[in-house]
Amino acid sequence: MAAEDPVTLWRPDWTARRAPPVTDQAAARSLREAVDETLAGIVRGSGALAVEISGGLDSSIVAAAVAARGKDQVRLWLNAWGPDATADERPWIDSLAAHLGIAATSVPRAVGRLTEDMLGQLSTGVRPGLAALDVLHDADWARRFAEAGIDGVVTGKGGDSMFVQPADIGVFADLYRDRGRRALLSRALPDLARWNERSVWTLAHQALRRHWTPQAVDSPNPLIGPRRHADIPRHPWLEDIEDLGPAKRRQILGLVQGCGLHGPSLQTRVVSVLHPLLAQPVVEACLALPAGQLTLGRRDRALARQAFGDRLPEAITARRSKGEMTAFYGHLIADGLDVLRPWLLDGRLASMGLVDVDPAGAALTREALAWRGGYVDIMTTAAIEGWVRAWERRLPGV
């Protein structure tokens, strides 16, 4: 049978372009109804549940929706706390648990040293295991779910993109694109300037510069050879969206990246890992709303905070910060450099010219990690390396 061009059945920009304007009250109602519809379906069809609660807004919204519909069906309300203060969300978990009337289980984040066997376990499926770059945590939760007889685990992942975080210059650029000069007189300009800790003149000037673009969210992985980036096709959903504002384009990019959360992991071998904030009803409800409305022109995820405020403790809806795992992952990767350096610098990707060895070698040092980070790029490349090795073993000579 001759190959045929694929037929596009759905694109996120279709929803973004065709949606009529609605009031803030109607917008908040649409978010609430979409989340409730999604969680009602999950509760009905998923058996024994676990709910991942991080202490942040998104997972709290999901937990509250589950608690309203299937509290008795949940066997674990699970949180993992890190070893330093910035990664310890237990005070927020305690507040949420008391408000919802649930018994939360907080456990220490799994620690240990990376090994080649662990890296090899990251990507044994059809696609690279980008959903579980923290293989120690993935293995620990897979074990806990299996022991508790869990059928499905519900997360709050994807909320940052769909509900729109951050509320930055790009949000005002979208607003100006929609309203023209009237945006300069809107309440959003001083509110967003205050939120971003800059003057209204600086924010407006930067947003309206002809050649200004927001910092790229899909910037190239510095470990991959620069010549190879030019050969990589963009995801079809990212094509032909230049007419949309930068914040809306970033939201669509977040959806594309969120597709990677559905990839294989040690957890998916024992439970169904469910991300309701990336389900179709929620995605379409969020895409249909301008970024300025999702932020109410004043702060990140403001509309979601308003829509679900009556279900959550004020400490969470008003919270400005969020848990930070950077130091934790920095130590994990730094302590595993003796494994990661040969894994990447002498691996199959390097032999094929896909990993640019000199920049990669410079990035894989304690000094570079301390100054520049790059943990996601490193672990993503390590996962793809493991994926190539796994399939070369399965398909020798191909």
Q: Do 48 and 132 share a structural domain?
A: yes
Q: Do 147 and 76 share a structural domain?
A: yes
Whether the per-residue pLDDT at 1 is higher than 50: the answer is no
- In angstroms, the CA 1 to CA 7 distance is 16
Domain that holds residue 184: 169-234
Say if CB 28 and CB 303 are below 8 A apart: yes
- In angstroms, the CA 255 to CA 275 distance is 12
- In angstroms, the CA 77 to CA 275 distance is 15
Say if CB 46 and CB 289 are below 8 A apart: no
Number of domains into which the chain is organized: 3
Would you say residue 308 lies in a domain? yes
What would the mean pLDDT of 343-359 be, rounded to a whole number? 91
195: left (phi over 0), alpha (psi -120 to 50) or beta: alpha
Whether the per-residue pLDDT at 232 is higher than 70: the answer is no
What would the mean pLDDT of 194-221 be, rounded to a whole number? 77
State CA 141 to chain mean position distance: 19
Q: Which of 265, 296, 317 is the last residue before a domain boundary?
A: 317
- In angstroms, the CA 115 to CA 8 distance is 42
Q: Do 217 and 92 share a structural domain?
A: no
Torsion angle of alpha carbons 252, 253, 255, 258, nearest 10°?
180
Whether the per-residue pLDDT at 8 is higher than 60: the answer is yes
Give the model's confidence band at 5: pLDDT under 50 very low, under 70 low, under 90 confident, else very high.
confident
Give the model's confidence band at 212: pLDDT under 50 very low, under 70 low, under 90 confident, else very high.
low
What would the mean pLDDT of 192-207 be, rounded to a whole number? 92
Q: Which of 293, 317, 341 is the last residue before a domain boundary?
A: 317
pLDDT value of residue 312? 97
What would the mean pLDDT of 318-322 be, rounded to a whole number? 85
CB neighbourhood size of 15 (10 A): 17
Give the model's confidence band at 207: pLDDT under 50 very low, under 70 low, under 90 confident, else very high.
confident
Q: Do 189 and 140 share a structural domain?
A: no
Whether the per-residue pLDDT at 319 is higher than 70: the answer is yes
DSSP state of 154: E
Burial 161-191 (b: 16+ CB within 10 A, else e): bbbbbbbbbbbbbbbbbbeeeebeebebbeb
What would the mean pLDDT of 62-75 be, rounded to a whole number? 92
Q: Do 157 and 21 share a structural domain?
A: yes
Dig out the tokens for 337 from the structure: 């450099």
Q: How many residues does the chain have?
A: 398
Sign of the Cα pseudo-torsion (9, 12, 17, 18, in order) = positive
Sole residue written with tokens 């301008």: 290
Would you say residue 244 lies in a domain? no
pLDDT digits (tens, 9 = 90+) for 17-26: 998 999 999 9
Q: Do 158 and 109 share a structural domain?
A: yes
Q: What is the mean pLDDT of the chain?
A: 90
Least reliable range by pLDDT among 17-31, 84-98, 143-157: 84-98
- In angstroms, the CA 36 to CA 78 distance is 21
Would you say residue 93 lies in a domain? yes
Q: Do 378 and 307 share a structural domain?
A: no
pLDDT value of residue 70? 79
